[in-house]
Amino acid sequence: MKSLFDYKSAYKTSMMFFAFVVCFCVVVVIMMALYMHKELEKQNAMIYVMDKTGTISTADKSELDVAGRLFEYEDHVKTFYRKWYAFDENSFDSNIESALYMIGDVGKKMYQKYMEDNILRTLKQMNMTVTVEIKEVYVDMNTMPRTGHITGIQTIKRVRGNVSRNMNCTFELWDVSRSRNNPHGVKIEKWDVFNNSVIGNE
């Protein structure tokens, strides 16, 4: 009878030990899985970058995503600026049509102003060419929507001489769906000229 009791007691102890080992193994496996998942997320967040000297280093993908989006914002504003303020009689229509895909409702008012001023007719009659030189583009990534400014010089080239003036503007930027006509996925709003003073006559 005693031996049977000892056997049951040993069996019970063995089962408890076995259950403990199983639970311990399950906990270890879960912890290892969580650790590997976290390490994988870290690896996915890092990418390798090679500089001009051929040196390879790691960089945080999220930081590069922000930097990449900033570049798109800046390029979008520069492209719009060039199309809207630089043209001749041959490129005016295509430039303005393309630029209107890059700007919101404020673009309609700006376009209406161009039509009221008969810009295209003036270009043809005076054989004018308008160019721009961009000085600075700044986009504040800490605001929502993004805000910023662009500064530059617009030069009107005519047979009888050239006129240069500041063309400095502020803007808001909104994220929209990308399209063939708007590959950056950005829409400009609240485009305001805050300085267009004449700075030179030739």
Beta bridge partner(s), residue 34: none
pLDDT on residue 67 = 87
Superfamily of domain 66-201, CATH level 4: VirB8 protein (3.10.450.230)
- Cβ atoms 202, 162 nearer than 8 A: yes
pLDDT tens string 66-124: 889 999 999 999 999 999 999 999 999 999 999 999 999 999 999 999 999 999 999 99
Measured CA to CA, the distance from residue 90 to residue 120 in angstroms comes to 9
Per-residue model confidence as pLDDT tens digits over 11-47? 566 667 666 666 677 766 777 767 666 665 655 544 4
Beta bridge partners of 103: 188
pTM (predicted TM-score): 0.70
pLDDT in tens, 151-194: 999 999 998 899 999 999 999 999 999 999 999 999 999 999 99
Domain boundaries, the chain: 2-49, 66-201
Using CA atoms, how far residue 196 sits from 2, 8, 84, 159, 168, in Å, is 106, 97, 14, 22, 6
